[in-house]
Amino acid sequence: RVYELKQFVVKDAPQTVYYIPDFISEEEEACLLQQVYKSPKTKWTQLSGRRLQNWGGSPHPKGMLVENIPDWLRTYCDRISSLGAFSGRTANHVLVNEYKAGEGIMPHEDGPLYHPTVSTISLGSHALLDFYRPVGSQEGAAPQTEENRFVFSLLLRPRSLLLLQDETYLRLLHGIRGRGQDPLTDQVVNLPAARAQPGETLTRGTRVSLTIRHVPKVIKTKLVLGRK
């Protein structure tokens, strides 16, 4: 399993980043987008700079109350899990994020409630995912601006799969700048795999991402209706 993934490792990133272009087909992308936009309006949460759908339950320190993941997402949870992404476990949680051109997500850590692997399928448009050292992690008196905490970026093309593990997931923050255009520099470490050149500028459209993860601590409700 790991052997199959090995060819997709991003060598210029700290360990461990896999970037798989065209992980899904255009038909699958279209179907997924259709399903995302067919979901009930109440499934969306509006945040500043993006909209969000949560599937599988709300992760909680005491355990996640498991909710059903619909088949259209379950297929991808299974497909990614069978790559060995979650050390033999199966993904049970999906966040759907929608970003309009110019929107983004502040640098953050995903926190301890998830297995330390995140997998992301991008739909509709690209994004530049930026990585930062946490505040306070550098010696000396240099001001801790976002700029000098910045480490590298990854270009996520539509239909690609990104897998982040280990150091990259645990020690760095990740975010997406809220802007409409992305100039590509050599700080984007997966340009060849993403079939792009430094110096190019990509214009953003609406991107929908599926963030697929495994939440180890769950509570399964035993609701047995109509029985003693």
Residues that bind ligand AKG (CB under 6 A): 95, 97, 105, 110, 120, 127, 129, 174, 209, 211
Selection from ligand AKG, Fe ion, none that 146 binds (CB < 5 to 8 A by kind) is none
23 vs 169, beta carbon nearer Fe ion: 169
CA distance 91 to 56: 9
Which segment (21-29, 65-73, 105-113, 146-154) binds Fe ion by CB under 5 A? 105-113
Residue 56, CA distances (Å) to 95, 210, 226 in order: 9, 13, 25
Q: Which of 110, 150, 178, 196 binds Fe ion (CB under 5 A)?
A: 110
Selection from Fe ion, ligand AKG, none that 120 binds (CB < 5 to 8 A by kind) is ligand AKG
Q: What is the smallest separation between the CB atom of 97 and ligand AKG, expressed in angstroms?
A: 4
Using rule CB under 5 A, residue 167 touches Fe ion: no
Cross-strand partners of 42: none
Q: What is the smallest separation between the CB atom of 174 and Fe ion, expressed in angstroms?
A: 6
Q: What is the smallest separation between the CB atom of 127 and Fe ion, expressed in angstroms?
A: 12
Cβ–Cβ under 8 Å, residues 162 and 174: no
CB neighbour list of residue 132: distance below 8 Å, 6 or more residues apart: 107, 146, 149, 150, 151, 172, 173, 174, 175
125 vs 211, beta carbon nearer Fe ion: 211
Measured on CA atoms in the order 14, 15, 16, 20, is the torsion positive or negative?
Answer: positive
Q: What is the smallest separation between the CB atom of 171 and Fe ion, expressed in angstroms?
A: 14
| Residue closest to Fe ion, measured at CB | 110
Cβ–Cβ under 8 Å, residues 178 and 49: yes
120 vs 190, beta carbon nearer ligand AKG: 120
CA distance 82 to 222: 28
Q: What is the smallest separation between the CB atom of 199 and ligand AKG, expressed in angstroms?
A: 24
Cα–Cα nearest to 5, from 165, 224, 188:
165
Binding-site ranges for Fe ion (CB under 5 A): 110
